[in-house]
Amino acid sequence: MVQPPNGEALGLELRTGLPDALRVLLEEYPRGGWEAHAGYDGLIRFWLERHMMFRRMLDLMQKQTEAALDRTVALEQFRQQMARLGSTFVQELHGHHGIEDAHYFPVLSGKDARIARAFELLDHDHHALDGHLSEFVASANRALNAQDAGDAAVGPFHGNLLNLGTILDCHLIDEEEIVVPVILKYGAGGLG
């Protein structure tokens, strides 16, 4: 497991939410009021929809894998769906993180010094997620080469999906609770 900066126990696999020091803007702009805020514009909506897309893709892959394990879907159909969806998921997530790391986070981190450390944490998450995505790809490849639905590779792939889903959701929630309040407070200037 990769440790976040300063060796804190804030690694993605360990934390259960953001520390209070990084929640200062979330207290001003709680999640329940985001959509009603005048600053909840196209950028926030688009960005949150991307996060929902990743969650839906993982959920669909989990359901398809369960169907393969239950033998309610043909193995060939599982292979085709999983190859397409898994590849799209990895490519889209890498692209999303690349844009955040190269453009969004540097701009947003300069808007409020109180949470600059939060963007370091999110960047660290992205590096940790790279390792999980590598495990996902290796596990998916083993499952795609399965000879039958009872193949020993399909079950571990399902376990990998569940683990990745938990870790990714933790990251997405934390990221949303950092990024959205910053944009609501300071606007999206510099992000376009």
Domain ranges of the chain: 39-186
Q: Name the token pair of 72.
A: 């309610």
Distance CA 108, CA 112 (A): 8
Task: Tell me whether residue 48 is exposed, middle or buried, using C-beta atoms within 10 angstroms of its C-beta: 0 to 12, 13 to 18, 19 or more.
Answer: middle
Asked whether residue 4 carries a pLDDT value surpassing 80, the answer given is no
Asked whether residue 11 carries a pLDDT value surpassing 60, the answer given is yes
The answer to whether the pTM exceeds 0.75 is: yes
CATH class of 39-186: mainly alpha
**Which residue's entry shows tokens 């769906």?**
81
Q: Please, which pLDDT band fits residue 2 given cuts at 50, 70 and 90?
A: very low
Share of the chain above pLDDT 70, in %: 93
Report the alpha-carbon angle 105-110-115, nearest 5.
80
> What is the tens place of the pLDDT at every residue in 116-135?
899 999 999 999 999 999 99
At 84 the pLDDT is 96
